Chains A and B, each alone.
Chain A
Amino acid sequence: MADHSTIDQDEVAGWLSSMSNELQNLLSARHANKTPRIVGIKTGGVIVARELNKRLGLDDEPGELNISFYRDDFSRVGLHPQVGASKIGFPIDDEIIILVDDVLYSGRTIRAAMNEIFDYGRPERIILATLISRAEGRELPICADVTGAELKLSSHQNFKLQENLSLEIEARSCQPQS
């Protein structure tokens, strides 16, 4: 995989479909009578969240989390006001939350996102769905319930999800990723 610089939209669309199928199975098995809520982590996770929202046929706009205030590396990377504030337009208490990000790597972003979600309320369950799960590099005991693909990449490279739903593989930039 690492020798390709782009993964095209069709392939990503295929992953998204299989993710939404898996999610549906997961939900009907345990939460058949409940409508889940989707929350995406800014900015890549929000793009994936919108797609899953569409595919699952949910009415509410997905929530958006800016986890910069919860990161554990604030002193190294500072604040990023341009990412914008978190927006969650629905209650969290006792809800099934599908937490969505584009890439699961170290697990630290997910840790921060879960902390933030609990500041909004106490969900009944959080399901983690990520478009990509990187095979190596986890730093916390976190794994996704649903992933589009498990990929291996050198530690010097990053995935960057584009608005048109293609994936760029790029050298790791100075800016933190979503």
Chain B
Amino acid sequence: MATATQDIQLCDDGGLKHFLTIEGLNKQRLTEILDTAESFVGVNNKATKKVPLLRGKTVANLFFENSTRTRTTFELAAKRLSADVLNINVSVSAASKGETLLDTLRNLQAMQCDMFVVRHSASGAAHFIASHVEPHVSVINAGDGQHSHPTQAMLDMFAIRRNKSDFAKLKVVIVGDILHSRVARSQIHALNILGTREIVAVGPKTLLPENISELGVTVEHNLEKALPDTDVVIGLRLQKERMRSALLSTEDEYFRSYGLTEDRIKLAKPDAIVMHPGPTNRGVEIEASVADGPQSIILEQVTGGIATRMAIMSIAMGNIEKSLSGSRTDSGLVN
């Protein structure tokens, strides 16, 4: 599937057409996204927070799974690019009336939508949709099952680069429920592609995937041992629904061993940054004073998420337009 994914999300010349997964992308592609996001930051600080890049395009937010932060930042990103946005909460609409995913899709295509932002509880859903859309449509994965959440990973890379610049010098600790986290998976791929010095995955054995070291990370079950010399600490949301299964004993016990507390953060480098993809469970995986503390860049992640998603949407849409128009580089426009 890796090869198929790689092919499907790229144009013939290697430019991004869909954004489904970090896997298979090279450093140049990821850097292009981060650089473009950097130039969009200014747009969000202007009096008129808009640029006309996607004017006349229609973006459909297709959310088969609940989300507030991801959906709203995608919506804002599309609107700041001047696109029209449709928010479709599929879990309470067509799907509940028995319409299949492909029927929903074909209907939206018939309404001349140009981009689908897809979140689905099934791994591979965005990929499935991308393989069925017409050539003028771009598909962005906003989280599929336990597989991938590439835009979240990119906004995290953006936040890290703005605070720390050179990935080759960084030690990054990711702590929590990595087994169920599509965010962690995408982060690990992105960190590796960008050449991060050391990535440590920390959590109880029951919450780490068996083959995790194959992803290019060091595994550690003791958070205190992992933290010294760390530049970036990423906490993951403990999905409370997992508590009911036999994977964890209690929230209290988890917090005692893996909670990001002020005392633990002191073990990392003094200028270490603390990140979390949200929503945070205060007192379960992170102490309130850490989440709101001076080392936390959690809200900066959210803000940067808009610029990062603007970058991804405009790169993908631009590449599709270029590939359809057939005139790739011979710009006739000068001054």
- Spell out A's residues near B (CB within 8 Å): 66, 68-79, 81-87, 92, 101-106, 108-109, 115-116, 118-121, 134, 158, 172, 174-178
Contact = CB atoms under 8 A, between A and B. Distances in A.
Interface in B26-43: 32, 35-36, 38-43
Contacts of A116: 51
Contacts of A68: 39
B46 A78 contact: no
Interface stretch (B121-129, B184-192, B325-333): B325-333
Contacts of B327: 76
Contacts of A119: 46-48, 50-51
B335 A70 contact: no
A174 B330 contact: yes
Nearest to B32: A81
A77 B192 CA distance: 30
Interface string B40-69: 111100111011110000000000000000
Contacts of B1: none
20 contacts: A66-B39, A69-B39, A69-B53, A73-B333, A74-B314, A75-B325, A77-B331, A78-B322, A79-B39, A86-B42, A103-B335, A106-B333, A106-B335, A108-B333, A108-B335, A120-B47, A158-B334, A174-B331, A175-B331, A177-B335
Nearest to A133: B335
B321 interface: yes
A101 B331 contact: no
B319 interface: yes
A66 B40 CA distance: 11
Contacts of B40: 69, 85
Contacts of A121: 47
Nearest to B39: A85
B318 interface: yes
B304 to A, nearest CB: 14
A123 to B, nearest CB: 12
Interface of B: 15, 32, 35-36, 38-43, 46-48, 50-53, 311, 314-315, 318-319, 321-322, 325, 327, 329-335
Nearest to A102: B335
A75 B38 contact: no
B335 A76 contact: no
A77 B329 contact: yes
A164 B43 CA distance: 31
Contacts of A174: 329-331
A104 B51 contact: no
A86 B44 CA distance: 12
A69 B331 CA distance: 16
A72 B330 CA distance: 14
Given A75-B325, A79-B315, A85-B42, A178 B335 contact: yes
Contacts of B51: 69-70, 116, 119
A69 B35 contact: no
A74 B319 CA distance: 10
Nearest to B48: A119
A85 B311 CA distance: 13
A142 to B, nearest CB: 11
B43 A69 contact: yes
Nearest to B319: A78
A25 to B, nearest CB: 25
B334 to A, nearest CB: 5
B329 A104 contact: no
Contacts of A92: 47
A140 to B, nearest CB: 11
Given A74-B53, A119-B46, A172 B318 contact: no
Nearest to A174: B329
B46 A120 contact: yes
A82 B35 CA distance: 7
| 3 tightest A-B CB contacts, nearest first | A75-B321, A81-B35, A105-B335
A86 B51 CA distance: 12
Contacts of B325: 75-76
Of A74, A82, A103, A104, the most chain B CB neighbours within 10 A belong to A74
A73 B331 contact: yes
Greatest chain B CB density within 10 A among A79, A119, A120, A174 is at A79
